[in-house]
Amino acid sequence: CDGNGTVALGDIIRHNIFGLESLMGNESLWPLLLGFIFIPSLVQCIAFPFCPESPRFLLINRNEENKAKSVLKKLRGTTDVSSDLQEMKEESRQMMREKKVTIPELFRSPLYRQPLLIAVVLQLSQQLSGINAVSPASFHDDPSAILDAPKYWGWEEGEEEFHVASPTCIDGRKTVDRPLTVDRFEHEPSWMSYLSIIAIFGFVAFFEIGPGPIPWFIVAELFSQGPRPSAIAVAGLSNWTANFIVGMGFQYIEMVCGPYVFIIFTVLLLIFFIFTYFKVPETKGRTFDEIALGFRQGGAGNSPEK
């Protein structure tokens, strides 16, 4: 399950369900709402000991091949994990030969330039997808301006959220083509509010199975063990920098653009889609050496193998 998308979904549930004034969003019960974090934290502490160790960690760091093999069988659901073990052993041998790459060296070496660009752009695509702008916490709540149904969801204008959720769910749908969806209705229909809610959850669902988790784990697949820590650090910095920019700047851009603000995210997503299609290589079933070879060939004028 994607952590980023789960956070967004949890924020919606907390803010728009339990945060209702009739439930726990009032002066007497808000401390209990704030303390709700204790429940998932407790569940995590109880479940954590039952989580298996990383097979890669067991084999490479602890040299416990039998335990690594047992965990792999459990995770893969198959008895033949010899190819996985062989790949890990090869990676372990390569780690002994490969020196650690610092962040300055990562930027200076042309060998890492293209995978680093891919890692950073994918992190930016996650935060600039509009996920944090769609989150109810990013909107100002004005009860006097909210319809009866949307007041339970913190939306001031339901049609605006339909506008953002539809085009930015990464499913290839084009931007809403009628000004009706971005202009205020003189008499807003009640069904639009419920359509907004469905679109919002649809947006979060698409985010969780794509732009949410992929930018985080693909970095480890693009780099071998030597440059991997530095690459993950740079990618993480890019992600949180974009997060900060969206969080701090969205409200001001919204004041200028109004409901059209989400067209910005739509355009950005289109750009990221094109970049991903042409630049991000297929990593499934390929070793680190094969991926690195693809980037070296790409540096010579060819695109990495898709």
Domain boundaries, the chain: 101-154+195-297
pLDDT at 9: 65
Q: How far is CA 241 from the centre of its chain?
A: 14
> Is 210:124 a contact under the CB 8 Å cutoff?
no
Q: Is 174 left (phi over 0), alpha (psi -120 to 50) or beta?
A: beta
pLDDT at 118: 93
State which amino acid sits at residue 53.
Answer: E
pLDDT at 23: 79
Q: Dig out the tokens for 100 from the structure.
A: 């650690």
Contacts of residue 86, defined as CB under 8 A and 6 or more positions apart, other chains included, come to none
pLDDT at 63 over 90: no
In this structure, which topology does domain 101-154+195-297 adopt according to CATH?
Growth Hormone; Chain: A; (1.20.1250)
The more confident residue out of 20 and 237 is 237
Task: Average the pLDDT over each of 60-69, 114-123, 156-165, 211-220 and give the range with the smallest value.
Answer: 156-165
pLDDT at 7: 67
Residue 177 — pLDDT band, cuts 50, 70, 90? very low
Region 149-168: mean pLDDT is 41
pLDDT at 136 over 70: no
pLDDT at 134 over 50: yes
Please provide the average confidence, as pLDDT, over all residues in the chain: 75
The more confident residue out of 84 and 144 is 84
pLDDT tens digits along 232-245: 999 999 999 998 99
pLDDT at 299 over 50: yes
pLDDT tens digits along 96-118: 777 888 999 999 988 888 999 99
Residue whose token pair is 């073990």: 85
State which amino acid sits at residue 127.
Answer: Q
- CA-to-CA distance for 256 and 267, rounded, in angstroms? 17
Q: Nearest-CA neighbor of 115 among 279, 287, 282, 286?
A: 279
Region 14-18: mean pLDDT is 70
- CA-to-CA distance for 171 and 169, rounded, in angstroms? 6
Cut 0.75: pTM above it: no
> Is 149:190 a contact under the CB 8 Å cutoff?
yes
pLDDT at 160 over 80: no
> Is 138:132 a contact under the CB 8 Å cutoff?
yes
